[in-house]
Amino acid sequence: MKSFQKLFFCFSLILIHSAISATAQTPTKQEIEVIAKCVENRGGGYPAMACYGEVTEECIGEAYQNSKMVYCAVQEYMIWDQRLNAAYQKIMKVAKPQVKTSLKSAQKSWIKFRDETCSANAMVFEGGTLASLIMADCLSEQTAVRSLQLEQFITEADLFD
């Protein structure tokens, strides 16, 4: 069963990658600002999870078609992924060596957790058109949570040597 899960996960990633390369564009400055302003207005941290979905919802509008919803979820994922990577890089530039080592290990574990969680969620819709949407939405949501965690870590932790 484990090899089937990995196969399904790889297939789901291929579908998402296809959606990204075929239709996704670099998020616009306006889309990035929607999230940035919302996070700032909510003070970051977990209250800012209310910001998750704002770009997707606006992007979808009235067009509730699976391909459009996957496209929009991927657009939002890319914004949260940019935020996550920026926060991670900021921490890694200034953190104490033991913090860097621990964070690198934690991030690898988190990526595995995210991928397996999203794969399991998508498996519920195995073979259906919703699988790629569930996968894209899950990746986006999990990345938003982790992004906010890392951003909060920057503000609260004693990172410096």
For the segment 84-110, the average pLDDT, to the nearest whole number, is 95
> In a 10 Å sphere around its CB, with 0-12 CB exposed, 13-18 middle and 19+ buried, how is residue 123 labelled?
middle
Instruction: Give 35-89 pLDDT, tens digit per residue.
Output: 999 999 999 988 999 999 999 999 998 878 888 899 999 999 999 999 999 999 9
